[in-house]
Chain A
Amino acid sequence: MMDLAFSPAQQLLQQSARAFLQQRCPLERVQEVALDPRGFAADLWKEIAGLGWPGLLISPELGGSGGSVGEALALVEELGRACFPSPFVASAVVATTALGPAGGRRARDLLAALAMGERICTLAVPEESGRLDPEALTLPVAAPGRLTGRKLLVPDAHVATDVIVLGRGAAGPTALLLPMDRAGIGAHALDSMTGDKLFELELTDVAIGPDDLLGAPGGGWALLAPAFRLGALARCAEMAGAAQRILELCVEHARGRVQGGRPIGGYQAVQHACADLYRDVESARWLTWEAEWTLTTGRPDADAAVAAAKAYVAEASLRVARRGHQIMGAIGYCEEHPLHLFHKRILAASLDAGDSTGHLDTVATSLGLPRDRPA
């Protein structure tokens, strides 16, 4: 019989994260960071580094805590519940996962610094098309050589100290690891409605040495794909956590808001909307954890399971956010009300680490319906 209980380590992490975030990251703080175009909770990042969170997926030899994927997801679920604004998923999940197997002194030094919270690593992959797809890469990469071009939708470039750049080399997609203060790297803020800090990276005649290669030339996509897959799963956990919190906010509102002489939660129309939120939250959450199990036990269908989870959890969580606005009524339409923060966090997460069209493509192929069929 399956066992769907959280491990003692997961429970400890969940409890300490929830207590810390309740105390140190109230929704007013989330709001403040979201509304500031260059917002970043530097103090909180320092504190979570003290708690060891950025080093959760980094091995103990490099100063991390060598935690499991399941522990990282349990933490990210709590981050989603709190709508915690940070580069955690980009740096501590996706970049960290890519750096581990890349090897080399630079990657190891960076991982040690990430574990201490001294550095933050972001990723520069999409270009004009916005697509997360090796076919869409055009930035020419040679090491040694000079790097000139643009990358779009780079998260948290204003606070990142390092960036993984994926471009097109002679041998195929090739990854570079560059410090953000390398001459010729400029970051320009994009104006996103989600409150996430997204940037255009402008690369102008940047000097690239052989040491800057991350992994083998031509091996960039193979290196990053597992990192994005884990990133997709982390975004599922974040969305499920945020959707759970929206449900709690809506139920609290429906219990307390009195109209026509009784709480609106006593009217069937509102009750049934809340019930639909519950269905979406529970199904999204357990599909996420099933995908986690599929991935961490190395099952052959892990790619399809993660893709199915990302597509479903995105749809279900967005449904929760959109229906939540209807339950919450006009007050939820105000900027000062937290509902839109969760809605936009879910929206951003739904588009990160592969959008639903791409993930459904993976699912369709796994069903025996490949995209390009022989004539």
Chain B
Amino acid sequence: MDFGFSDGERAFADEVRAFLRAHPPEGFPPDGTDAGYGSGAHSHAFTRALGERGWLSLTWPREHGGQERPMGLLLVLLEELAAAGAPFGPLAGCLQVAESIIRNGSETLQREILPQIAAGRATFWQGYSEPGAGSDLLALETRARLERDHWVLDGRKIWSSHAGIATHGTVLARTDPASTRSRGLTMLMVDNRLPGLDVRPIRSLTGQVYHYEVFMDGVRVPRDFVMGRPGEGFGQLLRGLDTDRFWGRFYKAPFLRRILGLLVEHVRAERPDDAVARHRLAHAATEIAALRALFRRAAWLIERGLPATGEVSAAKVMADELGQRVLSLGMELLGPSGVLRAGSRGARLRGEIEHQYQTSWGHTLAGGTSEIQRTTIAVRALGLPAEPRARG
């Protein structure tokens, strides 16, 4: 068994570190808040810089303008960026949409959108959840009807991350009015500039805007701006779900390792004789190491095309709950000054701990709640019987 990096991966890690020295994160003022998953703040300029290096299309097939480099390099890229605290917020969304377009997208999408993603000029919001469709996504009410060469889209999406600063949304809508539940849904690619789209910010408990609510009133989407075949949107969403969840969380372990490093420095400087703090930090380090091992196991399965549903859901649950524990520990170790925000006099560790403490409470909700993940593990990985659906 080999948990190590190949020579190529080590050389690539050096390349990424050199890039980060030339593009220090401080030099990229954020366009959008750091949501705490480990991918840092949202920066258009940093995303474009990644695009210039070809790192947004690293693993794509050559026919789509990619470099066909192995998935191992992508893991290295994400770990290095997260360890440095770089602002690569939109990256996971770009990877997911690109993968979906390459696998299922129309030729028009492949021709028009992929080059924009590769250049770091297109970023995405997800239009899945609705006010009445959260964990029960199939209760969604957004509809699209085909009028000659356009889909006419009506409905309302919510909790869409960075929708106000992204260029496009991937919107799941019911396109067969006679259908119910998982049939008759279609995934549309919606340009944010289209008339009829109204994107409104939702201020979160952090005091910052991360999520948006999106109102769609007769938005006309070109007919071939469809991901996959019309009516098959849900199956397609499910097929990509494991990898989406994986890429949306993989950098959490290196992120938590970075947070742990900050806390270690704080304890060394301000409470060097605190044996309890020392013990608790060591304990957190063991859990972070276990999280990383679990993600690496999932990565290996995904790279080989093997099923990884249980592993990915377990890693997501663990990442998000461990994140809450580590940030809670951080608040305790910083003491009364820990609540002071970045920029305030007396703030510790640049206010990062208080901010990430707050973001951590959204993580066990986003991308499928921890409860949904546990049910997924029980039913799909362990083969326990699904709970019967309520009638009505």
Which A residues contact B (CB, under 8 angstroms)?
A: 1-7, 70, 247, 251, 254-255, 262-263, 265-268, 270-272, 274-276, 278-279, 282-284, 286-287, 289-290, 292-294, 297, 305, 308-309, 311-312, 315-316, 357, 360-361, 363-364, 367-369, 371, 373
Q: A265-B384, A367-B282, A369-B267 are in contact. Are A271 and B378 (CB under 8 A)?
A: yes
16 contacts between A and B (CB under 8 A): A1-B72, A2-B2, A3-B300, A70-B1, A262-B385, A265-B384, A268-B375, A271-B384, A272-B371, A275-B377, A279-B294, A279-B377, A287-B293, A289-B293, A293-B4, A309-B289
Could you tell me if B291 and A283 are in contact, using CB atoms closer than 8 angstroms? yes
Binds A, one of B112-120, B191-199, B309-317: B309-317
**Quick one: which of B72, B382, B386, B388 contacts A2, CB cutoff 8 A?**
B72
**Quick one: which of B6, B281, B291, B385 contacts A263, CB cutoff 8 A?**
B385
Instruction: Give Cα A293 to B2, complex, Å.
Output: 6
Taking the closest CB of chain B, its distance from the CB of A73, in whole angstroms, is: 10
Closest to B70 in A: A1
Chain B residues closer than 8 Å to A308, beta-carbon distance: 285-286, 289
Secondary structure of the B contact surface, majority rule: helix
Could you tell me if B1 and A289 are in contact, using CB atoms closer than 8 angstroms? yes
Taking the closest CB of chain B, its distance from the CB of A71, in whole angstroms, is: 11
Taking the closest CB of chain B, its distance from the CB of A291, in whole angstroms, is: 9
- The residue among A5, A292, A311 with the most chain B CB atoms within 10 A of its own CB is A311
Could you tell me if A312 and B384 are in contact, using CB atoms closer than 8 angstroms? no
Q: A251-B382, A360-B279 are in contact. Are A367 and B285 (CB under 8 A)?
A: yes
Chain A residues closer than 8 Å to B278, beta-carbon distance: 364, 369, 371
Could you tell me if B268 and A272 are in contact, using CB atoms closer than 8 angstroms? no
Could you tell me if A282 and B294 are in contact, using CB atoms closer than 8 angstroms? yes
Chain B residues closer than 8 Å to A368, beta-carbon distance: 264, 268
Instruction: Give Cα A287 to B293, complex, Å.
Output: 5
Chain A residues closer than 8 Å to B267, beta-carbon distance: 369
Taking the closest CB of chain A, its distance from the CB of B83, in whole angstroms, is: 15
Chain B residues closer than 8 Å to A361, beta-carbon distance: 282
**Quick one: which of B1, B264, B294 contacts A6, CB cutoff 8 A?**
B1
Chain A residues closer than 8 Å to B313, beta-carbon distance: 275
Which B residues contact A (CB, under 8 angstroms)?
A: 1-6, 9, 70-72, 260, 264, 267-268, 272-273, 278-279, 281-283, 285-287, 289-291, 293-294, 296-297, 299-300, 303, 310-311, 313-314, 317-318, 371, 373-375, 377-379, 381-388
Taking the closest CB of chain A, its distance from the CB of B128, in whole angstroms, is: 22
Q: A290-B293, A312-B286 are in contact. List 14 more A-B contacts (CB 8 A).
A: A2-B2, A2-B300, A4-B296, A251-B384, A267-B387, A268-B371, A276-B374, A278-B310, A282-B294, A282-B311, A290-B3, A293-B3, A311-B283, A369-B281
Closest to A316 in B: B290
**Quick one: which of B5, B294, B371 contacts A283, CB cutoff 8 A?**
B294
Could you tell me if B384 and A373 are in contact, using CB atoms closer than 8 angstroms? no
Taking the closest CB of chain B, its distance from the CB of A248, in whole angstroms, is: 9
Instruction: Give Cα A360 to B283, complex, Å.
Output: 7
8 residue pairs, one from A and one from B, having the closest CB atoms: A271-B378, A1-B72, A275-B374, A265-B384, A364-B282, A275-B377, A312-B286, A286-B293
Taking the closest CB of chain B, its distance from the CB of A172, in whole angstroms, is: 27
Chain A residues closer than 8 Å to B287, beta-carbon distance: 312
Chain A residues closer than 8 Å to B385, beta-carbon distance: 255, 262-263, 265-266
Could you tell me if A2 and B3 are in contact, using CB atoms closer than 8 angstroms? yes
**Quick one: which of A2, A292, A367 contacts B296, CB cutoff 8 A?**
A2
Instruction: Give Cα A279 to B5, complex, Å.
Output: 25
Could you tell me if B3 and A271 are in contact, using CB atoms closer than 8 angstroms? no
Could you tell me if B317 and A275 are in contact, using CB atoms closer than 8 angstroms? yes
Q: A2-B300, A255-B385, A287-B289 are in contact. Are A275 and B314 (CB under 8 A)?
A: yes
Instruction: Give Cα A254 to B299, complex, Å.
Output: 30
Instruction: Give Cα A271 to B388, complex, Å.
Output: 13
Instruction: Give Cα A2 to B301, complex, Å.
Output: 11
Closest to B294 in A: A283
Taking the closest CB of chain B, its distance from the CB of A354, in whole angstroms, is: 13
Could you tell me if A312 and B1 are in contact, using CB atoms closer than 8 angstroms? no
Instruction: Give Cα A364 to B42, complex, Å.
Output: 34
Chain A residues closer than 8 Å to B386, beta-carbon distance: 266
Taking the closest CB of chain A, its distance from the CB of B152, in whole angstroms, is: 39
Could you tell me if A290 and B296 are in contact, using CB atoms closer than 8 angstroms? yes
Instruction: Give Cα A272 to B374, complex, Å.
Output: 5
Could you tell me if B285 and A363 are in contact, using CB atoms closer than 8 angstroms? yes
